[in-house]
Chains A and B, each alone.
Chain A
């Protein structure tokens, strides 16, 4: 498994090709969104909704052999794109690394520039939820 920062750097590289062109960045996000495999209806339920997102985001987490697998989905394509990057970075990592991760890619790819504050709040809520899962699984492991 690649480290969190390694994957972040890959994403930063991929975006750097787009040279900050807003249209292309958003289109790339949509492409990423389309590639994210959808959650089944069984998981697209109220309990799995991340609070704080303007569009709906569903997040589920599984803990096996020391690592967390995240799956997520959204009813909007752009949010799906955003979410897919978080899943790509954090899924498969161990709880400790997830908790201590610094997700600098958001700033580096200039996400704030094209995703306004209301929407990045949604992103923040998503990250928080992922870290909460990490915390919960860690606590469970230590019991």
Chain B
């Protein structure tokens, strides 16, 4: 996948940074450098204002009320669904289910589609680079239904050995669930090239889009995936909101995920009939305010433009790769040809934990450890890595500061 489209530059990074109040603070006496964006990125003023505005002016419980505020809140909530559908090019808003995050989205697919439609002996295929949230729900399902979990291995550079896909897909494969972009390696997986094969094998394609949605152009119809899960908090939006996209034909076949209010058509004590999609999957009062503000986060991304964002983050990524490699004993983990702005590395003889704590004393926030991908770490014989991950507001100067600080820290820790 290439970053096609017109090439654009971020003209005014200062202006973008001014949108993020949290960035303008000192941490441990130094200006904050926030490089933990893959875990969760920061929120622009427009999103903060949207939350504030909603609670000040429009809040009421949705769908059930006939009064003005209830209608306003419902409208805002449903508008967010519509905007989300456009953002990932779903065929219709009804294919958008609001969840609490990627984790819930993947669990929803496993517990509904998986429970209802898979039979003992069926197979689920994942890769060796998956986040725990795209491993554990399938393991639980496999245990419950007596299924087989198969894993596509990796190459040394952090790419999946896709040449093995054909042989791993069997007539028993029912679900293939793959991360769009790896949170530990940055690797972008060629989803659109896989879907035909997966479908020909009679399986569905589930995509964990947690790391891709703020960085890559997402078109679920072009990707031709059956489900796509993402998290708002990694996309400049509020925490506690996620999206599960699902093709209508599957969503209609699937049983509800949770029982309660909102998801029902009619309840008698003998039998309940369920609402139509998407409400069937949204039992109870949802996270209205954060869903409403998520729309503003999408607008923030669209205003700058995905192409511009990708361009900028790639520049940071390439610069970081080149500069970091010059540090004695530093080894990049994940050097796939197609990557999002995630740089993972280890330094010979120096523990990632020490590096993380020392960088924090310089005001630089990175993540250290296994990044919820223990099987991936094991596959490379690592306990963990240091990970720096970029968002649109990061600068080349910040990358330089990371490299300089790291160089000094490594020297200090070594002798």
Contact = CB atoms under 8 A, between A and B. Distances in A.
B67 interface: no
Contacts of A26: 357-358, 361
B353 interface: yes
A78 B361 contact: no
A23 B351 CA distance: 18
A55 interface: yes
B157 to A, nearest CB: 27
A75 interface: yes
B117 interface: no
A117 B65 CA distance: 44
Query: Does more than half of chain A's interface fall in helix, strand or loop, or is it mixed?
Result: helix
Given A30-B412, A30-B413, A78 B357 contact: yes
B412 A79 contact: no
A75 B369 CA distance: 13
A76 B412 contact: no
A114 interface: yes
Interface string B338-363: 00000000000001011001100110
B351 A27 contact: no
Interface string B355-387: 001100110000001000000000000000000
Interface string A38-81: 00000000000000001100000000000000000001111100
Interface residues of A, number: 15
Contacts of A119: 357
Given A22-B361, A30-B412, A114-B361, A78 B353 contact: yes
B5 interface: no
B364 to A, nearest CB: 13
Given A22-B29, A30-B412, A76 B361 contact: no
Contact of A54 (B28, B353, B361): B353
- The range of chain B's interface size is 10 to 19
Point out which of A22, A76, A114 has the most chain B C-beta atoms below 10 A from its C-beta.
Answer: A76
Nearest to A54: B353
A26 B369 CA distance: 20
Nearest to B357: A78
B264 to A, nearest CB: 42
Interface in A85-127: 114-115, 119
B353 A76 contact: yes
Contacts of A55: 351, 353
A115 B357 CA distance: 8
A77 B351 contact: yes
Interface in B318-352: 351
Contact of A79 (B353, B362, B413): B353
A29 B86 CA distance: 53
Given A26-B358, A55-B351, A114-B361, A77 B29 contact: no
Nearest to A24: B361
Contact of A76 (B28, B351, B362): B351
Interface in B260-314: none
11 contacts: A22-B361, A23-B362, A26-B358, A26-B361, A27-B412, A54-B369, A55-B351, A77-B351, A78-B353, A78-B354, A114-B28
Given A26-B357, A30-B412, 18 more contacts: A22-B28, A22-B29, A22-B361, A23-B361, A23-B362, A26-B358, A26-B361, A27-B412, A76-B351, A76-B354, A77-B351, A77-B354, A77-B413, A78-B357, A79-B353, A114-B361, A115-B357, A119-B357
